[in-house]
């Protein structure tokens, strides 16, 4: 049961403007082999908060308050695979 002060989440339509991977050089401690860990943060759903009277909830700066559902997608690749990917983009690894 919701209380009078509990926010009401309302789904918001959204479209990703740019989805990026972050790449980290890591070492497998068992083998000593260097690997590339790629991590992508994906927002799956966004909700804007409204109070019980239908007014948007605002933060201390006056911005609307949003909450979101997300997922982190990891990918592990060899340094060679990473270098091939970078070269395919026309860049130097």
Residue 93 lies in a domain: no
Mean pLDDT of 12-29: 85
Q: What percent of the chain has pLDDT over 90?
A: 68
For residue 80 the two structure tokens come to: 């060679």
Residue 3 lies in a domain: no
* pLDDT value at residue 18: 67
> CA 48 to CA 87: how far, in whole Å?
41
For residue 4 the two structure tokens come to: 């009078």
pLDDT at 69 over 90: yes
Residue 2 lies in a domain: no
Residue 81 lies in a domain: yes
Nearest to 38 by CA among 89, 79, 92: 79
pLDDT digits (tens, 9 = 90+) for 25-48: 999 999 999 999 999 999 999 999
Residue 1 lies in a domain: no
> CA 32 to CA 30: how far, in whole Å?
6
H-helix segments, 1-93 = 79-88
């Amino acid at each position: 049961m919701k209380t009078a002060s509990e926010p009401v989440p309302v789904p918001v339509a959204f479209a990703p403007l740019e989805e990026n991977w972050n790449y980290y050089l890591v070492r497998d401690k068992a083998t000593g082999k260097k690997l590339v860990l790629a991590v992508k943060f994906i927002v799956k759903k966004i909700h804007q908060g409204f109070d019980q009277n239908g007014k948007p909830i605002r933060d201390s700066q006056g911005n609307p308050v949003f909450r979101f559902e997300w997922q982190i997608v990891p990918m592990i690749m060899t340094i060679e695979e990473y270098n091939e990917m970078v070269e395919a983009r026309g860049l130097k690894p």
